Each structure stands twice: as C-alpha cells, then as structure tokens.
Amino acid sequence: MTALGTSSTVAVVGTGTMGQGIAQVALVAGHRVRLYDTAPGRAEQAAEAIGSRLDRLVEKGRISADERDAARARLSPATVLAELADAALVIEAILEQLPAKQELFSALEDVVTADCLLATNTSSLSVTAVAGRLRHPGRCVGLHFFNPAPLLPLVEVISGFATDEAAATTAYDTAAAWGKQPVRCADTPGFIVNRIARPFYAEAFRAHEERIADPATIDAVLREGAGFKMGPFELTDLIGQDVNEAVTHSVWQAFFQDPKFTPSLAQRRLVESGRHGRKAGRGWFDYSEGARRPEPRTAEPCPAPEAVGLHAKLPGPAVVLRELIEEAGIKVTRDRTPGVSEGFLRLPGGACLALTNGYPATTLVYENYIRFDLSLDYRAATRIALAASSAVSEEDLAEAVGLFQALGKQVSVIEDVPGMIVARTIAMIIDFAVDAAARGVATPEDIDTAMRLGVNYPGGPMEWVERLGAHWVWDLLHSMHHQDAGGRYAPSWALRRRADLEELVL
C-alpha cells in the first residue's frame, strides 16, 4: 500500500456539496483537512456544515462523540491559498470550467511541495488538459467521487496522458484506505460511468421523442422489467436536467460529435425552459405541491390462453418463459413452422409471440407478430412491454397480454419500433462497455464495479454480455443499424470480434 498516512494533511479547494463531502471523507479517515474557497467566508461556513454532519453521525451511532471532537479539531478553513503549503494531497472540486481548474493548479504548484499530489474531481473534463499547464503534470490525477461522497463508495481514479504511475497508485490506495472502492480509468471522455451510462438516458429520451411511450411508462418498463432502481426520466429529474444534459453534451463534443452520443432535443428544451427537475419543481414530471405523478400505461386484465405452442428454443434469458408458463398452469405444446429458425410462442389465434430482435414486429405487413421486450430476469420482472404488428388483431393482442398477466406481470403495450425499450438500452450499454474495455479505458472487472456502484445498475454490462451472448447483442444492434444507418446503432468492432470468438467456441 502506498496510501497517504493519516499524519498527512489533505486540502480541499471548493466548498460546495461535493467539496464538503470529500472533506468529510478525508476527515473521518483521520487526516487533518484544510478547506479553501475563493469566496470570502465560504470555507468557514463549510466547516460549520461539516461539523453539523459529524453531529448527526454521532446521533446515528456511526462515530463516537470523542471521534467527532477529534475530527473537528483536525478541520480548519484557510483564508489564502498559501495556507495549503503543507498539504500532501490537494483535491479540487470547483466549477466544471477548464480555464478555472488550470489556473488553480498553476497557482497551487507555486505553493505546495514538490511531492504533493494534485487531484481533480472533474466528472467530464480531460485530466490531461487540466494538468496541461503544470510544470510537473505527472503529479496530477483524477479522483472522481460520486455525490453524495460520504455515502457512495465508488471513486474513479483517472490517469492523464502525463500522470505518473506512482501518483495514480497513491491516489488509488488512498481512496481504498478511506473506505472507498476505487477503479482505474484512462483519461477518455466521460471516464467509465459517464461514458457507458449515456445510452440509459439517451435511448429513453429518443423513445419518448419517437412517441413509443410516455415517460412514466418508459420508466416503469426499465424499472420493473429490467431491474433498474430508477427510470431515466425520474433519475435525471433527481440529478438535475441541466447537470445531466451538460455532461451528455460535454461527452458528445469530446467524441467529436459521434452520433452514438447525440444529446436529446427534448431534454434541451426542458433545460431552456428552466424545468431542471426536482430542484426547480418541475422536469419531466411535476413536483409542485399536490401534483400527481402520471401512471404508466398498463393493459387491462385479459383472459390467459389455455395453451400455447413453442417453436424451437426461445433465445437468451427468455428460455425460462417455458417454465413460467407451465408453472402458471398453461399447457405448452410443440409448434412446427417450416423454414423458420427463430424461437417463438404460437398463440391460439395464430399470432407469433417472439422476443424483440432489433426489427419491428411489422417487418412485413402480413406477418402476424407480437414482440415482447427483453428482461435480464423474466422470473423476477414484474412488467413486460409488448409491441404488435399492423396485422395483429385485438383478440390476438389480448391473448399475449393475458399470457404475461398469468405469469404475474403488468403489461405495457407500446408502439412498434426496432429494439423496443429495454433491449435497445441494454444492448447499447453493453456495446459501450465492450468497446471501452477493448480500448483500454478500464478492465472488464472495473467496468462492472463502476456501473454497479456508480449508478446502481442491477448488474455489470460485461456480466450481461456473458448472459445474453455477444452474438445476440450484435445481431440486435446490426438489425437496428440496418434500419437507421446514421451510425447511432452501428455495433462496435470490439463487439463483432467478441461475437465471432463466441461462434468459434460454439
């Protein structure tokens, strides 16, 4: 371990919510902490706020009164930058503006010792650029904490182009000594979490813009059908639409306006109108007093069919549906349809019920198809989305709805589009993750850790590709790209290579 000892002083520059949180983490870990802010009186106010939070930790039994008193004694506000001269680590948490960060670090370099580690908490700027004006850029590293820093365990440790390995290792080990779960990351736009998480928001917003379903329904399908803790609309309302849109725009620009990262016009309009989410009283949803949250679109109860036919084997995690159907007391017979390799369920009225494959149900107008959305765990899922082709009758659709209702699922019928909701979202997240791993952004293990801990995903995308199969994911995205050739859904070559290797093993 090369972690900084608790005898080392840690300085935090910037005393907003994030700066205060980082300072509290270092303080509770046993360090002397100095707070600095350019605004007069802000450092003193932050010290008082941290002291109040320490009081609450005592009330909750997290620390003792003696530990609180000792921590308070180690905390001191600084009135001038020169008072940070004895710091072994300085972490900046100021505005996300590159010139401001560069100016700060240049000034710090004239104050601190030669072996002082300089860390930026930037969430979207280049660590390499932040360190670009330093005489000794090797000492600069990214330490990206997640808000609220005292509670969330993840810390992304980002090495800039010039960062010394020893500096990155010290930063990593220090974060671990503070009780955090650090992950290593190369200096690329969005790092791990803000890069790979983009499709979770972008695909939902695009689905809304395409009028596939309303925000409440899209949230419910991703939450209850895929296991995400919050849907993208309610989550961005919590984060702040202005904050989320700014990160999206920053990553898009940093990737030279790659269509995969294109921001949402609908979200831009929210930001322009001042509807920034919960903090503004309104975002995608209305949070004013007495306002009622809209309910997701949910199908009325329908009778379940007495029997269904099974043609071939249902793909991926959908294979468990046969067990669920039989457990619900519905007979499963064998269906033989010549010349069709796709696995599907044949409903009594003749319609085919199949997992989405990246093509719409209405691939051909005469096809009697109903597509159901992906779930990573159909047994645990409580909601399923369905989309029907134009040839499907109301009676056929009611049979599909009744079948899933008999399995204990709520059903949302959405518009017929390629990839539906969950499948396109999960596939894009997986593709981003596989591509990032192949480019050396982070290891597969650190990617999964980052996505589970940083944004509370129900699993890691590298784990998901193992379960779904790279070939299935590639086929779905390739099908979507075939219909929307702008580049947004073009699967990465890393995913293609993984799918090809998968085929060779089989």
Point out the residues that are catalytic: 123, 144, 156, 194
Question: Which residue(s) pair with 351 in the sheet?
Answer: none
The tokens 């270092």 sit on which residue? 26
Helices (H), 273-380: 321-327
The CA-based diameter of the chain, rounded to the nearest angstrom, is 80
- Who contacts 492 (Cβ-Cβ below 8 Å, separation ≥6)? 431, 434, 435, 438
Angle at alpha carbon of residue 126, lines to 121 and 128, rounded to 5°: 100
- 502 three-class SS: helix
Question: Which residue(s) pair with 140 in the sheet?
Answer: 118
Angle at alpha carbon of residue 102, lines to 99 and 104, rounded to 5°: 110
Residues 56, 40: contact at Cβ < 8 Å?
Answer: no
Residues 180, 25: contact at Cβ < 8 Å?
Answer: yes
Number of C-beta neighbours around residue 338 at 10 A: 4
The tokens 């939070």 sit on which residue? 53
Helices (H), 240-327: 241-254, 265-272, 321-327
DSSP letter at 418?
T
Residues 90, 116: contact at Cβ < 8 Å?
Answer: yes
Question: For the chain, what's the residue count?
Answer: 506
Phi, psi at residue 382, to the nearest 5°? Answer: -115, 0
**CA neighbor of 184 nearest in space, from 174, 197, 169, 194:** 169
- 305 three-class SS: coil
